[in-house]
Homo-oligomer: A and B are copies of this chain.
């Protein structure tokens, strides 16, 4: 059995022009495929500017069904190239019910699974609770011809619980489409700490579960004409890490990047034999994890 699998990521900026953004995603997929990628990861909500910067009901018009226009176009690309694609859609499930949803397209073009973002942020500039209902599918990895994918989305990346649940359910690989950036009012030191924390905690999910991991973030300043809008400077820095958290590739913070890395999925098994965390979890003593707080 060949345990080697090449994963690619496509980091790009997102403009107001949906067609332009989707073209950037598709061009990147083609380039990643030329590099040998069997699986390509796109950034979170890659067809749109990050509209959650404000609460604005007109933005619901950006939503679409699954299947819908974006998945149909990407399905054709998946089938033409024979690659698995992990896309990210502003999903309209019903009028008044929307999700932030990752879609996995098989290399024959079929939709093979979806993951609805479970942890929804809400803080200044990231008003996602206004737009997205929390996912109701739980943490279910998606089996594909390129491995069983533990797909999570952005804010999920700060929760070790999410990565662990994907690992316990058999994920071979953790994948995080993201849209995260700097508040331009923050100091350089604070910016460095935030981006480093973001990389570190995701590397730690790889380590804790002995799984490789890929993260794809958008880059670029998104700023509106609204008064006092400092905008968000999305920090790119998409990366791929091995199952010891070792960084195998990291993109720059402010430019397009397409890169593929060949992973050996057999390393996870070897590591789990060396340091067998799954054997030693104290499941008899973890009840408190189901509480909001232990007071």
Segment of A4-12, A41-49, A100-108, A278-286 engaged in the interface with chain B: A278-286
The reply on A160 being an interface residue by CB < 8 A is yes
Is A54's CB within 8 Å of the partner chain B?
Answer: no
A285: nearest chain-B partner, CB-CB:
B138
CB proximity to B under 8 Å, residues A188-206: 193-194, 196-197, 200-201, 203-205
Q: Please state if B170 and A164 are interface contacts (CB–CB under 8 Å).
A: no
CB-CB under 8 A for A200 and B197, given A119-B282, A138-B285, A158-B275: no
Contact code string A142-167 (vs B, CB < 8 Å = 1, else 0): 00000000000001001111101100
Stretch of A27-35, A90-98, A230-238, A287-295 lying at the B interface: A287-295
For A162, the chain B residues whose CB sits under 8 A away are 282
Asked if A168 CB lies within 8 Å of chain B CBs, one says yes
Given A123-B276, A159-B277, A200-B245, A170:B295 Cβ within 8 A = yes
Q: Which residue of chain B is the closest to A241 with respect to CB atoms? A: B200
Contacts of A292 in B (CB 8 A): 278, 281, 283
* Inter-subunit contact A290/B283 (CB<8 Å): yes
A200 to B165, CA, bound (A): 20
Q: A200–B196 Cα gap in the complex (Å)?
A: 11
Q: Give the complex CA separation of A293 and B278 in angstroms.
A: 8
18 more A-B residue pairs beyond the given contacts A123-B276, A168-B294, with a C-beta to C-beta distance below 8 A: A120-B280, A139-B288, A158-B275, A159-B280, A160-B164, A160-B204, A162-B282, A165-B294, A168-B288, A196-B244, A196-B245, A197-B245, A197-B246, A200-B245, A201-B245, A281-B292, A287-B290, A290-B290
17 A-B pairs whose Cβ atoms sit less than 8 Å apart in the complex: A119-B281, A123-B274, A138-B288, A159-B208, A159-B282, A165-B288, A168-B288, A168-B294, A170-B294, A193-B244, A196-B245, A197-B245, A203-B204, A278-B292, A281-B292, A283-B292, A290-B290
